[in-house]
Copies of this chain bind each other. A is one copy, B any other.
Amino acid sequence: MARIEDVSSPARMAEPGEDISRDELSLATRNHGLPLEALRYDLTPPGLHYVLTHYDIPYVAEDADWELRIGGHVNRPIRLSMDNLRSYPQVTTRVTIECAGNGRALLTPRPVSQPWLVEAVGTADWTGVPLRALLAEADVRDGAVDAVFTGADHGVERGVEQDYQRALPLDTALGDTPEVLVAYAMNGAPLPPQHGRPLRLVVPGWYGMAHVKWLRDITVLDRPFTGFQQDVAYRIRQDPDDEGTPVSRIAPRALMVPPGFPDFMTRARVVRPGTTELEGRAWSGRAPVTAVEVSTDGARTWNEAVLDEPDEHRWSWRRWRFDWNAVPGEHELCARATDAEGRTQPLDQPWNRGGFANNLVQRIPVLCTEPS
């Protein structure tokens, strides 16, 4: 008897010393992170922005055939074509999106899933219609609690067949800080297929799981949404039976462009002696980043980096830089961000079963060669 449960597997932790499995590799060859040298770009070129898709990327032959339905606990259910959506006043917001599972493969024990190291991030200008304008038109009824967003991507996860679905609390869906977008363009062009063509949700400041791609339905509920991606996955738990807390906004993080040049296989870095400008980006979905510190001695001592002035892009990463006088020998470089609410990054990563919301301080071993 052929059963879907037979092709699916429960959540598991890697055994002590277990390297990356074939299943994890199958995800890692499809999905990809931001090559860290691309932190140099304010706006990540689309093919360098991190991508995680749970199931297959839906094939959409004609954007013109796409329809977004809005219904549920509303007085005026509506259906919108792409042309309808483009007739609304449009908003463009620069947003840094990070995968909720970034850093998972650095945890011990390692939750077996997409095995990110530190690179699951990217920044783009997203253009679309504010969600609250669409919900106002649908006229949400009193007593509404959650808005559920359904993508066209379909698959199985831990035995549960599903369309990808996530909800936002109604006050978040209707809020203006952040202003949630139903987006149809990325960096001024139609969305690439892997970023949700033709339509996706963008929830500035929230981890990637909230930014539902291939968005085809918004249903308002008068009770909390209890779907798989809301109540089973994407919760921070120590034990399977914990109720846990939902994954939501992005914790502060700084990443550095690895200086010098790499070894192909070990990715170890080599620099020449002398002044090397270290640079990178820092972000937080909680509050603006207010400081970045750099260590060149493996987090023993820290120095203040120069952070770019705040600009109008509240939800985008900020550039930072630091001049390092590299001397021959082995070094370990680190960077650490702090936000306006005093949150910063740990040197020892708290663990959770899903491997979510990690922001361990990045460590980059560097070899500085002798003068030539």
Contacts and interface: CB of A to CB of B under 8 A. Distances in A.
Contacts of A56: 35, 37, 258, 261-262
A53 B55 CA distance: 26
A71 to B, nearest CB: 25
Given A20-B19, A32-B32, A37-B57, A8 B263 contact: yes
Nearest to A12: B265
A20 B194 CA distance: 26
Interface in A30-70: 30-33, 35, 37-38, 40, 45-49, 51, 53-57, 59
A101 B20 CA distance: 19
A119 interface: yes
Contacts of A112: 265
Contacts of A268: 7-8
Contacts of A367: 2, 4, 6-7
A306 interface: no
A54 B263 CA distance: 9
B155 A265 contact: no
Interface stretch (A21-29, A80-88, A143-151, A214-222): A21-29
Contact of A27 (B57, B59, B267): B267
Interface string A136-158: 00000000000000000011111
Interface of A: 1-4, 6-9, 18-33, 35, 37-38, 40, 45-49, 51, 53-57, 59, 105, 112-113, 115-117, 119, 154-158, 161, 192-195, 258, 261-270, 328-330, 367-370
